[in-house]
Each structure stands twice: as structure tokens, then as C-alpha cells.
Amino acid sequence: MTHTPPRIVAIGEVMVELAPVQSDVYQRGFAGDTFNTAWHIRQLLAEKAQVGYVTHLGQDALSDQLIAEMRADGLDTSGVKRDADRTMGLYVIALQNAERSFHYWRGQSAARRLADDPMWLAKSLKDASLVHLSGITVAILDAAGRDRLLAALVQARRDGAKVSFDPNIRPGLWTSSDEIRQTIPRFLDVTDIALPSFDDEAAHFGDATPAATIMRLATSGIREIVVKNGAGAVTARINAQELEVKTPSVTSVIDTSGAGDAFNAGYLAARLLGRDPEVSIAEGQAIAGQVIGCRGARIPKRQMAAL
């Protein structure tokens, strides 16, 4: 008998990343929250899983370079569609004492069209074991695109997939706080694994504690909720089991970009391997601890081999 590895599909936007390496010198890379998660999962699981990415890119040289890099790193690119009249977005990381802020140029991002074709989207999610997306995936779409994405997720779940969702709220991508509060719960209603960050939930939904976030999300019927809280403890509720796992201190912090994405990858990869929740949270913390010691939003591939 042959064993078919699980198929993991992440949906979202990949951007050109310019990360500072010294004063006025930047390193070009590619990053995006769900892309970072998918990339790390593929490096962690290798041949134990098929990992694909669903997005739209341009037909320019940078898009060509990204696709070549994705394939070299073992990602399935069959879910990448090319647009002749659009290209990739770009962002620049600004650092102050390892804390980052971002400057974006993404108005012409081809990824804004990733839900324009419902048949293509459904085909891209076919046979998925796990579909991962974020609030950024949702925010870059127009209202009709969000409806089409939601319908695709409903169908994927009917076909046997689980959906993991990191709300990852970026206010600049939304028209108002009301739009955030009206839209995010629609996607929580089709979520099996919720991976929120407490600071986002407190700021936009008024949660006083991580436990309050868990109680609110549980009302959507989500049975696996893991609340990240920066350097604070991770709080979780998984099938009615409540956990609090202290986050280990990290001595070398260079750039906190992508920490939450890396946590998601470590946690989801461990769960896919059948590890229990507490061990899986620790795996997520370990990967997040590694990425904040690197420049940019992904751990260098040579360093991933040791993990």
C-alpha cells in the first residue's frame, strides 16, 4: 500500500520584501504572511506533506523569479495564476530596536484578483487536507471576491478539508473598524483552527484577556483556538482542553517580522504529524524564536535544515 501525504494549501499574497541589512542597504526577498507559513511548513515536513500556494502573480521578471524559487524550495505552484496587466506588491521593513514597521506599495498587486475566478479557485483547493488563510488574504479582496472565497472554503470543508485562519488584522487594508468586525466573523464561521494574535483581538474586538478571545471565538463553533501573545504565554483551547504554555525567552532578537507566521507553521506542522497540542505549541514557539533572530520574515533555508 502507498501512503498519500496530506495536501496543504495556503491562500494569499506574496510581495517583494526589502529588509534592511545595514544603513541604507536592503536585501531583496519574497514574503507574505500565509506564504511565510506555507514555506516554513514545507521545509519542516519535507516529503511528509504536499504544500501548495494559491495566488495571482504578474508576468514580469520578479514574478518569474518567485515561481522559480518556490519550485526550488518544494512548493507546488499549480495554484499560481499569472496576470499580464498586474505585478507583485512591494514592502519595505523599517526597524527600530528590532521592532518593525512596514511601508507598502500594493495597489496593483495581482493577488487582489485571486478570487475572481470561482472555478479556478475551487480547482486549486481540490483534495486539500488543510487550507490556510489570513485576514490579509480577506482584506485585499473586494466584497464579491470575499463572497467567492468564503464559498470556496465552505466547499473545501464539505470535501473534507480543515480550514486554519489567522485573523492577522492590518487596519490599513480595511476601510473601517466596522468592516473588520463585520467581515472577520464570517470567516471564523468556516474555521476549524483559529490562530489569532491577542493584540489584534484586543484592539479591534475589545477582548480584555486571551481567555476572553477564546470564549468569543468558541461561540463560532471553533474547537481548536490558539492565541499568540508576543513574548507572553500562548493560551489555547483545543477540544475543550485549556492550555497555557509559557513562551521561552530569546536572547538574540534582530527582526520580529514573520514571528506569528512562523509560529503558525511550527504549530500546524506538528499537528499534521499527530503531535499533541502542548508539544505543537512548543514547536511553534521554537520556530518563531528562530525567525526573530534572522533578518526578514523567513528563516534562511540552510538554517531550516537543522530544524
Which residues are annotated as catalytic?
A: 261
Q: How far is CA 252 from the centre of its chain?
A: 24
Instruction: List, in sequence order, the alpha helices (H) in 11-134.
Output: 33-45, 61-72, 118-125
Question: Rounded distance, CA 196 to CA 33, Å?
Answer: 13
Count of all residues that appear for the chain in the document:
307
Asked if 11 and 133 touch (Cβ cutoff 8 Å), the reply is yes
Closest CA to 12 of 119, 207, 203, 164: 164
Residues 6+ apart with CB under 8 A from 160: 129
167 DSSP 8-state letter: -
Asked if 179 and 186 touch (Cβ cutoff 8 Å), the reply is no
Asked if 242 and 233 touch (Cβ cutoff 8 Å), the reply is no
Looking up cell 467567492 gives 148
Question: Rounded distance, CA 87 to CA 110, Å?
Answer: 5
The cell for 210 is 486571551
- Bridge-based pairing of strands 80-83 and 7-11 is unpaired
Helix (H, G, I), strand (E, B) or coil at 18: strand
